[in-house]
Structure 1
Amino acid sequence: MDHQLPKPLIISISLIQGILLTLLYQSVEHKVWPGTEPLWLVSLAAFTISFPLLILLSVTKENAFETIKYLLPFTLLLSILGAYVGYQQEPAALINNSSVVVIFSFTSLIAAFKVLMYVQQYLSDQKISYSSLFKLSWRNFIIFGECWLFVLIFWGILHLGAGLFSVLEIEFFKELLNKEWFIIPVLNLAFGFAIIVFRNIIYTVDNISTILQTLIKFLLPALTVVSLGFLATLPFTGLDTLWKTGTGSLLVMWLQALTLFFVNAVYQDASHKRPYHHILHRLIFIGVALLPIYSVISAYGLWLRVDQYGLTVDRCWAILVCFLLSCFSFGYLLGIVKKRDSWLETLSKVNISMGVVVLVFMLLVNSPLLNFQGVSASSQLARLHDGKVSYQAFDYAYFDYSLGRQGYLTLQTLKEELKGIAPDKIVIIDRMYVNRKGLEKEEKSIDKFRQLIHFWPSESDFPDDLINSVYKNTTQYDWSTYNGKAYYFIAKDLNDDGELNYVVIEESNYSTSAQIWLLKANTWTQNYMQVDNPNNNKFIEDLVLSNQIEVIQPTWKTLKIGDLTFKPQVD
């Protein structure tokens, strides 16, 4: 039995954590501090989540002070990194950089579990070994997973009960479950209760761990056969076939990562007892020795991509993962070369030291020292200045949807350079960074809408009621917006009847659409027009201002048979 903290104290910690998380959530909902400042919001959320969670998972009556002494500085460091991650959301009204928060959450979880097992091992006063670290890591992971499973089931039961009462026309419980001040603290209390339960039955947790390891023990030989079979056929098929998939390096790294994970799960016993017959053991021995080949293949594939297209956030992550897997693989190979069948001694040393390396990198990727968005922005900009990509073909949109703050700052600087080279791209950049948050409350007016309109040949050719009709159609829904768009009102006789026809073109960075507006029974109605934009032109203002507007007679006339008409669709 785990000598955990008294039950009332655990429940109190869970309740306080739930109240603090509720306050943070409400600050976002009601747009008050810290919800209005991502720097503070992410920082406070990181500490509020990580510190109580790690305490509940690890502290016992005997080591409470010592554990807090090591975990508090770590969670404060996470909070500081969270502040930097939150800062990457600025300016909050112009950029959407939620991906860095997701990455921060995932990497912080890995780092937290690494720190937790090292602290637990250190405070146990036992000699550090991979087998003990492995046991602690699996125990923490299974307890954490079981607690979340308990919370999800509990949440489902609450909704089931609310649904049953709703059938009886008692809506109180259903409405209560929609209140964050109720559901967040209650779920936190459920998590704390689950901690009490599962930490009291550690033997059951260890049995689950043993079952999972047994399954992996039977899967490792199959995975090794697949791995060796792939390497055996590769010389005959060549790497070109692998690269054609577009995900060759990713597939190779997945195979390498699974092999490493399975090997560590099976060969972690400190007794070094062989879990397989000597033939299977030798087969796995060979498979592990050949793992560096996968590192070479992955590194070569990544180098080809980077050389062709430069660094991106995804490729930076792939390089980091490839590097970490290579360290494990070459470390094992070195042990095999030096110690042959006693290579498991090296495996333990490599895993202990590489655990620290992984921990460090999981923290660095959330810091200015290893900001993949900044690295990618610099790489892509360098390709532009080196002439590897033209100003017209440059992927400006990537800076917006993948590089967050770093992309925003880079493009704002680049705008000065574009003035004399590609001024149309400045408009495209400005369209990207509109007020994306709170559009449903955006102050919309016909005067603001008119500022986005380019009239041809002149504004006097267009009736005011037509402009009003287009405005009402554009803003008919709460979520509708004209931000980041340009509108071209074209007056041209399209059917040779001596009367002007009115075409409204809506242009954004993502699409160009057009409607012809006709007056029927004193009401303006719109009709869809097919748009052919072979060069994907996203800025036609210069074409309109230079009067490059003409009417083209169709090459193919319409065939009419009685009341039936047939219009050829021929390029």
Structure 2
Amino acid sequence: MIAAEDAMDRDVLRGPPTRLLGPLRLGIGLLQGLALWWLHWTSDGVTGWPWAPAGFVILVLLFAFIPVLLLAGVGRMHGSTLAAWTVVAVALLALMGWHEVARQSADTLRGPPFFTTPMPLFAAAALFIAHHLVLAADMERRWIAPFPVYFDTAWKAGVQLVLSVGFTGAFWILLFLGAGLFRIIGLDFLEDLTRKSWFYVPVTTFVFATAVHLTDVRDGLIRGVRTVGLMLLSWLLLVMTVLAAGFVLALPFTGLKGLWDTGSGTSLVLAAAAALIVLINAAYQDGRPENRPPLAVRLAVQVGSLLLLPLIVIAFLGLALRIGQHGLTPDRIIALACALVGAVFAVGYAWASLRTFLRRGDWMRPVEPTTLAGAVVAFGLIVALFSPLLDPARLSVADQVARLERGAVAPEAFDYAFLRFGSRTAGQGALERLARSADPVIVRNARNMLATENTVRIVDVGSPDTLPRLEVVPAGAALPEGFLVPVPPTDDRAQCGAAPDRACVASSVDLDGDGESEVLVADASGIRLWTRGPDGRWSRRGGWYGRRCPDPAGAASDPRDALRQGQVQPLAPRWPDLQIGGTRHSVLIDAPECGVRTSPGSAD
């Protein structure tokens, strides 16, 4: 086996001459900045491009990631290999960019950048994984390189990335400091310069490329920083192992209900498993005997590897429970993919720990093939999820519509807004098909949603009903029957109390004098009116929002305080309603007469 350090040194000699590496990397950084600035400069008119918006998204991905890939490959990878890998990376990014646009509806394609946040993050992760698989194989000139080479290249790149981003951030802090110094003596040229996109975009990429080159030239410095970082992370494994062990051991006494009631239990468990995987790798390092950690850390590696298995099982149980109850959603499909990757690591690491406890073979040796297998599986799933192969929106829509058609969810309770606004073109097409259904309830709801222009609040489909948290006033009063009951997350009442700034105050009052009580619900933005229909169901009818005049003396400024203090009173309208063509219309006030003294709550 060739040592990782020897392989890296040998590879550097194969690349361009050392004197050319600096100008080459700096040129790549400058060209990247100019390309990104050009995209920024032309983004206002991009909708007029004949190949927009897909072409724009593809260019954003290419200009953002391909130069970074070249910075990471030049001087380390053979020229032919780097060229071939760059072509593959371009094709991969083009596929992901095209699919990101193709799966969106017209409602989400109104302006640049035309893509959602998760896709570029997952694209970056896929490129990082694939690049270091290719780099290590190229360094050893074999399809599968020794594990120490994978470890060395990946962790060195991670440290370089952190240092380069930090260097770039420090550069801008100093530049802003200098601009401030010049400003206090009346010179604003530097501050004005930092606000120009043609300056700050190329400068940022140029400084980042400079940092990459500087950290690569001082290879020993990077290895030293990495060694210190791995040592610190390996000792953090002790803390994480104790926490995970305590969690798993407490489950027989607490049960899983509290975990599922949080609504984010599965994601928390998967995050804990991911942290264990990273920390175990940091402690194991390249697996060579001279790099083995102290005894306490080795025990933490073995115990933590066993704890991965119950954590992943719990994650699968949570996903199975939620999917069984409420079907697939894009978030659940992505979580399922993460759980599958976690399962690869959990099984392999648990086997490595058992072999070590039984004293069979080298210490935790199966960690090495397991880590490589997990990386390959993660790369494959990312590509599949962000391409037509396993598009989460398409799979979710198919599952949700199937649940509706087989009666697993009632037509009245089905989340049509998810199809209209939360699942891109796949949901739009499904909603149009539902509008031709034989069920009149489905047809009515689907057509109403298709006619909706405003993007409504999208929630996780199938999230459990929650009991609204309302402060009822006056103290000791009760709300009408059927109002304070568990409601789905799409109901506005479910948001009351969800965050400190979402506290709600409710009061029962007969506003129209018909002998039936209505409910006023106030939050920081205004007061909403809820009425009960002939079928006994409560629905929001409208509301009074904000203040357009200065508050009268002594009037509460917060609608909730006004409701608490009894400063909400019905008033006869100053201007009558009009019947226009057989339809009743209320006046919409354009310019309130703020000089007119009214009691709080006046429509004017």
Aligned equivalents of 2:370, 2:328: Cα separation in 1: 30
Give the RMSD, CA atoms, in angstroms.
Answer: 3.9
Cα gap change, 1:61/1:98 in structure 2, threshold over 3 Å: closer, same or farther?
closer
Is 1:29 the equivalent of 2:44?
yes
Picking from 57, 73, 90, the partner of 2:88 is 73
Which residue identity lines up with residue 67 of structure 2 in the other structure?
Answer: P
Q: Which amino acid aligns with 1:119?
A: V
Equivalent of residue 249 in structure 1, options 244, 266, 276: 266
CA contact (8 A) 1:311 1:376 kept: yes
For 2:234 and 2:218, the matched residues in 1 are separated by 25
Structure 2: which amino acid aligns with 1:383? R
Task: After TM superposition, give the deviation of residue 233 of structure 1 in Å.
Answer: 2.1
Amino acid at match of 1:26: W
CA distance in 1, matches of 2:45, 2:77: 43
Distance (Å, rounded) in 2 between the aligned partners of 1:75 and 1:103: 19
Contact 2:105–2:428 (CA under 8 A) maintained in structure 1: no
Structure 1 residues 312 and 176, CA gap change in structure 2 (3 angstroms): same
Structure 2 residue aligned with 1:270 = 287
Letter in 2 for 1:13: I
Q: Partner residue of 2:104?
A: 89
CA distance in structure 2 between the aligned counterparts of 1:512 and 1:546, rounded to whole angstroms: 21
> CA offsets, 1:191-229, max 9 Å, x none?
222222111112111111111111122121222222222
2-structure distance, mates of 1:147, 1:419: 59
Query: Which AA in structure 1 matches 2:59?
Result: L
**Which residue matches 2:392?**
372
In the alignment, what sits opposite 2:345? Answer: 328
- The answer on whether the counterparts of 2:152 and 2:286 sit within 8 Å (CA) in structure 1 is no
Q: Which amino acid aligns with 1:403?
A: S
Aligned to 1:58: 73
Q: Which residue number corresponds to residue 513 of structure 1?
A: 542
Report the equivalent of 1:112: 127
Separation (CA, whole Å) in 2 of partners of 1:143 and 1:270: 22
- Asked whether 1:49 is paired with 2:69, we answer no
Residue 64 and residue 283 in structure 1: after superposition, are their counterparts in 2 closer, same or farther (change >3 A)?
closer
Change (3 A) 1:565 1:106: closer
Per-residue CA distance 1:24-49 (angstroms, 9 max, x = gap): 22221234555982211111222222
Query: Any idea what the Cα deviations from partners look like across 1:123-161, whole Å, max 9, x if unmatched?
Result: 222772223212211111221222222222223333333
* Contact 2:431-2:450 within 8 A present in 1 as well: no
Cα separation, 2, equivalents of 1:410 and 1:165: 60
Q: 1:371 to 1:123 in 2, by over 3 A?
A: same
CA deviation after TM superposition for structure 1 residue 336, in Å: 4.2
Q: Residues 276 and 186 from structure 1, CA distance in 2 versus in 1: closer, same or farther, beyond 3 angstroms?
A: closer
Stretch of structure 1 that moved more, 177-186 or 2-11: 2-11
Q: Structure 1 counterpart of 2:133, which letter?
A: Y
The CA distance in 2 between the partners of 1:279 and 1:221, in whole Å, is: 8
What's 2:298 paired with?
A: 281
Question: Aligned partners of 2:146, 2:279: CA distance in 1, in Å?
Answer: 18
**Contact 1:121 1:132 (C-alpha < 8 Å) held by counterparts:** yes
Where 1:417 maps in the other structure, the secondary structure is coil
| Structure 1 position 416 matched with structure 2 position 416 | no
Residue 240 of structure 1 deviates from its aligned partner by 2.1
How far 1:411 moved relative to its partner?
A: 2.0
Distance 1:352 1:170, change over 3 A: same
Check if 1:206 corresponds to 2:223.
Answer: yes
Other-structure match for 2:378: 358
Alpha-carbon distance, 1:81 to partner: 1.9
Inter-CA distance 399–274: structure 2 relative to 1 (3 Å threshold): same
TM-score, normalising length: structure 2: 0.68
The alpha-carbon deviation at position 59 of structure 1 amounts to 0.9
Cα distance in 2 between the residues matched to 1:274 and 1:377: 50
Q: Cα–Cα, structure 1 residues 129 and 382, in superposed 2: closer, same or farther, change >3 Å?
A: same
Q: Which runs of 5+ in 1 are unaligned?
A: 437-493, 496-504, 517-527, 533-543, 550-562
Q: TM-score, normalised by structure 1?
A: 0.72
One of 306, 311, 318 as aligned partner of 1:294: 311
The equivalent position to 2:237 in structure 1, one of 194, 209, 220, is 220
What is the aligned partner in structure 1 of residue 449 from structure 2?
Answer: 429
> How far, CA to CA, are the matches of 1:314 and 1:107 in structure 2?
14
The amino acid across from 1:84 in the alignment is: H
Equivalent of residue 385 in structure 1, options 405, 420, 423 = 405
Mapping for residues 156-555 of structure 1, pairs under 5 Å: 156-272=173-289, 275=292, 278=295, 281-282=298-299, 284-337=301-354, 340-341=358-359, 342=362, 344-417=364-437, 420-422=440-442, 424-426=444-446, 428-433=448-453, 513=542
- Which sits farther off after the overlay, 277-286 or 260-269? 277-286
Question: How big is the shift at 1:175?
Answer: 3.4
After superposition, the Cα gap between the structure-2 partners of 1:281 and 1:194, relative to the gap in structure 1 and judged at 3 Å, is closer
Tell me which residue corresponds to 2:139: 124
Kept in 2: contact 1:506–1:513 (CA 8 A): yes
Deviation at 1:316, TM superposition (A): 0.9
C-alpha spacing 1:380/1:189, structure 2 compared with 1 (3 Å): same
Sequence identity percentage: 24
Shift of residue 88, structure 1, vs aligned partner = 2.7
Tell me how far 1:546 sits from its aligned partner.
11
Q: CA deviation at 1:506?
A: 12
Aligned partners of 1:566 and 1:18: how far apart in 2? 56
Could you tell me how far apart the structure 2 residues matched to 1:354 and 1:93 are? 34
Q: Note closer, same or farther for the CA distance 1:95–1:181 as it changes in structure 2 (3 Å cut).
A: closer
How far residue 104 of structure 1 moved from its aligned partner, in angstroms, is 1.7
TM-superposed CA distance for 1:271, in Å, is: 1.8
Higher mean alpha-carbon deviation, 223-232 vs 375-384, is at 223-232
> Are 2:283 and 2:293, in contact at CA under 8 Å, matched by a contact in 1?
no
- Which deviates more from structure 2 when the two are superposed, residues 416-425 or residues 138-147? 416-425
Deviation at 1:184, TM superposition (A): 1.3
**Cα distance in 1, alignment partners of residues 112 and 419 from structure 2:** 11
Q: Aligned partners of 2:288 and 2:544: how far apart in 1? A: 77
Moved over 6 A (4+): 93-99, 544-549, 563-567
Q: Indicate whether 1:7 and 2:22 are aligned.
A: yes
- Greater mean deviation of Cα atoms: 160-169 or 185-194: 160-169
* Structure 1 position 547, deviation (Å): 9.3
Shift of 1:57: 1.5
Contact 2:122 2:382 in 1 (8 A): yes
Cα distance, 1:336–1:61 mapped onto 2, change above 3 Å: closer
Q: Which amino acid aligns with 1:513?
A: G
* Cα deviation 1:367-410 (Å, max 9, x = unaligned): 00011111111121122112222222221222344322322232
Shift of 1:266: 0.7
What is the CA–CA distance in structure 2 between the aligned matches of 1:278 and 1:62, rounded to whole Å?
A: 37
AA aligned to 1:345 is R
Which AA in structure 2 matches 1:144? L
Q: Which amino acid aligns with 1:123?
A: D
CA distance, structure 1, for counterparts of residue 51 and residue 24 of structure 2: 33
The farther-off stretch of 425-434 and 68-77 is 425-434
Matched position secondary structure for 1:101: coil
Describe the SS at the equivalent of 1:393.
coil
* Corresponding residue SS for 1:193: helix
8 A contact 1:93–1:435 mirrored in 2:
no
User: Amino acid of the residue matched to residue 199 of structure 1?
Assistant: D
Structure ranking higher on relative contact order (CA contacts 8 Å, 6+ apart): 1
- State the distance in 2 between where 1:69 and 1:154 align: 34
Provide the secondary structure at the position in 1 that maps to 2:287. coil
> What is the aligned partner in structure 1 of residue 172 from structure 2?
155
